[in-house]
Amino acid sequence: MSRAEARQYYSQFVVYRRIMLDKGWRQRQEQMLDYKTKRYKGRKWKLRGSRSSSGDSQSSMDSGKTKVPSSPSSPSSGNDEYEEKYMLTESVEKKKEKKKSLGKLRLGLRVVLACAILGVVVLEVLAYIVIRQLVGLYERVVVWRGERGRLLRQLRSARSYDEYLETARKLDAELGNNKSSQSYDSRLLVKIAGTLRRARERAERAERAARLSGSDTADGAAEASRRAAIGLCDVLRGGAVRANVGGWEKSAGGYAGEVPREVSAYVGEVERSAGWVRGSAAVGAAEKAAVFGQMARQLGRTALCLSGGAGMGWKHLGVAQSLLENARLPGVVSGASAGALVAALLGTHTDGELRQVLRPGLAKYLTACQGAAWAGVRRWARHGHFFDAVEWAARAQVFTRGSLTFSEAFARTGRELCIACTPAAQAQAQGPWVLSHVTAPNVVVWSAVLASAGLPGVLPAMVLVEKTRAGRVRACTAGGAAWRDGSFGADIPHGHLRAGNVQFSVVSQVNPHVAVFLKEEARWWARVLKLDARKWLRVARDLRLAPRVCGQDWAQVWLQKLDGCVTVLPRACWADYAGLFADPSEASLARSMRRGREAMWAGVGVVWARQRLEAAISVR
Q: Would you list the domain boundaries of the chain?
A: 151-179, 181-298, 302-518+562-598
What three-state secondary structure class fits 527?
helix
* Helices assigned H by DSSP within 280-417: 285-299, 315-326, 338-348, 351-357, 373-383, 389-396, 406-413
Q: Where are the beta strands (DSSP E) in 211-351?
A: 301-306, 332-335
Reply yes or no on whether 180 is catalytic: no
Q: Report the distance separating Cα 217 and Cα 213, nearest Å.
A: 6
The predicted structure's pLDDT at residue 59: 46
Backbone angles phi, psi at 483, to 5 degrees: -135, 155
The predicted structure's pLDDT at residue 34: 57
Judge residue 516's burial from the number of C-beta atoms within 10 Å of its C-beta, 0-12 exposed, 13-18 middle, 19 or more buried: middle
b/e sequence 38-49, b meaning 16+ C-beta within 10 Å: eeeeeeeeeebe
Decide: 268 and 190 in contact? Cβ < 8 Å: no
List the Cα angle 452/456/458 in 5-degree steps.
Answer: 85
Decide: 537 and 597 in contact? Cβ < 8 Å: no
The predicted structure's pLDDT at residue 315: 92
Alpha-carbon separation of residue 524 from 128, 142, 184, 529, 532 (angstroms): 12, 21, 21, 9, 12
- Selecting among 280, 307, 322, 337, the annotated active-site residue is 337
Report, in this order, helix, strand and coil percent for the chain, each rounded to 5. Answer: 65, 10, 30
The predicted structure's pLDDT at residue 553: 66
What three-state secondary structure class fits 419?
strand
DSSP 333: E
Q: Report the distance separating Cα 412 and Cα 77, nearest Å.
A: 88
- Selecting among 186, 280, 322, 485, the annotated active-site residue is 485
What three-state secondary structure class fits 352?
helix
Record the pTM.
0.77
Of 333, 342, 334, 332, the C-alpha closest to 310 is: 342
DSSP 504: E
Reply yes or no on whether 337 is catalytic: yes
Radius of gyration from C-alpha coordinates of the chain? 38
The predicted structure's pLDDT at residue 543: 78
Q: What is the DSSP code string of 442-479?
A: TBBHHHHHHHHT--TTTS--B-EEEE-TTS-EEEE-SS
What three-state secondary structure class fits 129?
helix
The predicted structure's pLDDT at residue 198: 93
Q: Is the dihedral of CA 512, 513, 518, 524 positive or negative?
A: positive
The predicted structure's pLDDT at residue 89: 62
The predicted structure's pLDDT at residue 196: 92
Q: Report the distance separating Cα 256 and Cα 277, nearest Å.
A: 34
- HEC profile of 530-565: HHHHHHHHHHHHHCCCCCEECCEECCHHHHCCCCCC
Please provide the CATH number assigned to the domain covering 302-518+562-598.
3.40.1090
H or E segment at 416? strand 416-423
Q: What residues contact 332, with CB distance under 8 A and at least 6 apart?
A: 301, 302, 303, 304, 415, 416, 418, 497, 500, 502
DSSP 64: T
Residues of the chain where predicted confidence (pLDDT) is lower than 50:
40-41, 43-78, 82, 428
